[in-house]
Amino acid sequence: MKLRHVRAVAVCALVVVVLTGARRGGDGGCDDDHDSSGSSGGSGGVDVVETTIPPLPTESVTTAAPTPDAPSTKKPKGKVTSAKGEVRIVGCVVEKATASSGTITFKYEVTNRNTVMAADYRATLASVDPDGTLRAEGLVIQSQIAPGATWPGETRGSYVVGAGQKAPSAGSCKVGEITKTNVPAPG
């Protein structure tokens, strides 16, 4: 019998003795000979059973799981640029649908000037009158633009022509706020 089996039997015996409350004279534990009044009779002493469990043998079997790489705090080598100038309007088409409203199609390009990091972009494109009145707005959302890549797209915005107003002009289109989030390049 191996040492671990002997130890298991000793532990089981100890558990049985402790849980059953075995007493000298056989009048303790789980017997049904006692009434429910709580009187136990018999010799009244409790046996203390001491069991020494030998230590486990130390074997030099080690199975180390591979540890995942810790997140790197190093900055990537190469250039990571700001968003300024990376979203640009390449076309602005004003379409008048009715006498009082219309649509502007903003054609744009997003160029990621980073050399090592891909980037996600969120930008607003707007048609603004010379007095600063916002006439129409479009939203740009582009994800995972690879380093050095240019991505074309288009978005639309609606406008309303109020009393005394003209439709916005194609020259009124501007890039608004740009948010660029650098992300690890795929692959």
**Residue 37: per-residue pLDDT:** 45
- Please state the rounded mean pLDDT for residues 141-154: 96
**Residue 65: per-residue pLDDT:** 45
The residue ranges of DSSP E strands in 66-160, in sequence order, are 87-96, 101-111, 117-128, 134-145, 150-160
Q: Look at 48-57, 110-119, 133-142, 143-152 and tell me which has the smallest mean pLDDT.
A: 48-57
H or E, element range at 14: helix 3-20
Kind of pairing, strands 134-145 and 101-111?
unpaired
Q: What is the pLDDT of residues 34-78, one digit of tens each?
A: 444 444 444 444 443 444 445 544 444 433 444 445 444 555 567
Cα 141 from Cα 135, distance rounded (Å): 20
Q: What is the pLDDT of residues 66-123, one digit of tens each?
A: 444 544 455 556 788 899 999 999 999 999 878 889 999 999 999 999 999 999 999 9
Q: Where are the domains of the chain?
A: 1-29+47-54, 87-184
pLDDT surpassing 70 at residue 167:
yes
Token couple for 47? 């046996």
**Residue 49: per-residue pLDDT:** 41
146 neighbors 108 (Cβ within 8 angstroms): no
More confidently predicted of 12 and 111:
111
**Residue 5: per-residue pLDDT:** 58
Mean pLDDT of the chain: 74
Q: What is the CATH number of domain 87-184?
A: 2.60.40
Q: Which of 43, 157, 51 is nearest to 101 (CA)?
A: 157
Q: What is the percent of the chain where pLDDT is above 90?
A: 43
Q: Which of 123, 122, 119 is nearest to 182 (CA)?
A: 119
Give the residue carrying structure tokens 């006439």. Answer: 135
Cα 138 from Cα 89, distance rounded (Å): 11
**Residue 128: per-residue pLDDT:** 93
**Residue 147: per-residue pLDDT:** 95
